[in-house]
Amino acid sequence: MSEAGLEQKYIQEAFDTNWVVPLGPNVNGFEADLEAFVGEGKSVVALCSGTAAVHLALIACGVGPGDEVLVQSFTFCASTHPVTYLGATPVLVDSEKDSWNMDPELLEEAVRDRIAKTGRKPKAIVPVALYGMPYRIREILAVGEKYGIPIIEDAAEGFGSRYDGQVLGTFGQYGILSFNGNKMITTSGGGALICPDAEAKKKIMWYATQAREAYPYYQHEAIGYNYRLSNICAGIGRGQMTVADEHIAHHKHIADLYEAAFAQVPGIRFHKNPDAHSDSDYWLNTITLDPDLRVKGQDRAYTVPVTGAVGGAAGVTHGGGSLHTDCEPNANVEAMRLGLDALQIEARPLWKPMHRQPVYKHAPAYVNGVSEALFKVGMCLPSGPMVSDDDVAYIIDGIKGLIEE
């Protein structure tokens, strides 16, 4: 049976058996599939989003009001926002240039400085597998062990990425997975928390189901959350798990095509595994454009305000306040994005570092300039399971055609 057929089978079973709720056979089956996939004897809780998984992992690590959490600055806001949900403060740590992820040396500097300044050590460390690229987990773990700080791996973009052959999300105390609509596998919306053992899973499930006590009525002695995954969405996930390895292999195949092509294009560099330890899932394939590279239409970049969602992203209801912010991609990157858009090719800038986001302007930050420099020159290219070899050839030709002679 095809992937789509399996998804429809599990969904229909949910309706036929009236399990149209955030628990049930599909949720249990999906969790079992995920536990087999990540291995290492870990337990997994299926949740409504990766953001919810970050939130619950922080709670499990004892994060509360007034605490500090060290978070990679070069990331999507789902890595940092849950820290603020708990009344804690994200302490933003910049990247190293090879993986683009949390710099272990800067991380230790931040730990020492926070202890010196506050008299307390941070409650957790959150590295992020940016675009699926593995972080230098061995060195990050060493910092955590040295100072007694738990590691929460945000592998939301790194489903199936490995370091030294081990799946990301299984090294630290907790690991984050995401099954949003654009991820390696999807449940339309959803996520999961990789837990160290069955006892930790049991506690997370309690928090994720409104922290209800064992009485014949609703008794609550702690604050809980409505974070469990729908049995319907889990049915989609069970079908997706049957093709997870194929999806990962396809993303890597696309990466090989991009890498080979851009090796022949002066001024463009493809971001690839930096060493033999790293095995990225290449969730999103990324390139950087040399600042001196001239792109057609570059002189017209940033002349028309964006009035809606770039790339069809949902939830954009605030119009931009101006044509520019104080930290933005270079004009040639924006010109390339606009040129590709005119060719019906969706490309996007890299994540804007959290330490340059207005909402985190007062957050402590330990920076070295790496993530900001990459944000100015980087771009994400189409990378999904529906992107064909012909599509990649069209994208590459489109990029080449936009470069001025």
What is the structure's pLDDT at 275? 97
Strand partners, 365: 92
d(CA 377, CA 12): 47
Q: What are phi and psi of 279, to 5 degrees?
A: -140, 85
d(CA 347, CA 332): 13
Q: Which helix (H) or strand (E) holds 256?
A: helix 244-262
Q: Answer yes or no: are the C-beta atoms of 168 and 149 closer than 8 Å.
A: no
List per-residue pLDDT tens for the chain, 405 residues long.
666 777 788 778 766 676 665 778 899 999 999 999 999 999 999 999 999 999 999 999 999 999 999 999 999 999 999 999 999 999 999 999 999 999 999 999 999 999 999 999 999 999 999 999 999 999 999 999 999 999 999 999 999 999 999 999 999 999 999 999 899 999 999 999 999 999 999 999 999 999 999 999 999 999 999 999 999 999 999 999 999 999 999 999 999 999 999 999 999 999 999 999 999 999 999 999 999 999 999 999 999 887 766 555 556 666 666 788 999 999 999 999 999 999 999 999 999 999 999 999 999 999 999 999 999 999 999 999 999 999 999 999 999 999 998
What is the structure's pLDDT at 313? 56
Amino acid residing at 360: Y
- Cβ count within 10 A of residue 181: 10
d(CA 296, CA 379): 16
Tracing tokens 């560099």 back to the chain, one arrives at 269
What is the structure's pLDDT at 22? 72
Beta-carbon contacts of residue 304 (< 8 Å; ≥ 6 apart): none
Q: How far is CA 329 from CA 251, 356, 367, 374, 395, in A?
A: 25, 12, 18, 9, 20
Tracing tokens 């926070």 back to the chain, one arrives at 114
Amino acid residing at 91: V
- Cβ count within 10 A of residue 256: 14
The side-by-side arrangement of strands in the sheet containing 68-72 is 124-126, 68-72, 89-93, 365-366
| Of 142, 148, 140, the residue nearest 122 (C-alpha) | 148
Q: How far is CA 350 from CA 85, 199, 268, 306, 336, in A?
A: 25, 38, 15, 17, 13
Tracing tokens 């605490």 back to the chain, one arrives at 67
Predicted TM-score (pTM) above 0.85? yes
Structural domains in the chain, sorted by start: 3-243 (3.40.640.10), 245-402 (3.90.1150.10)
Q: Determine the angle formed by the axes of helices 231-241 and 244-262, rounding to 10 degrees.
A: 60
Tracing tokens 């028309």 back to the chain, one arrives at 304
| Of 250, 248, 246, 182, the residue nearest 387 (C-alpha) | 250
Q: What are phi and psi of 119, to 5 degrees?
A: 80, 5
What is the structure's pLDDT at 6? 79
Q: Answer yes or no: are the C-beta atoms of 231 and 25 closer than 8 Å.
A: yes
Tracing tokens 């933005």 back to the chain, one arrives at 328
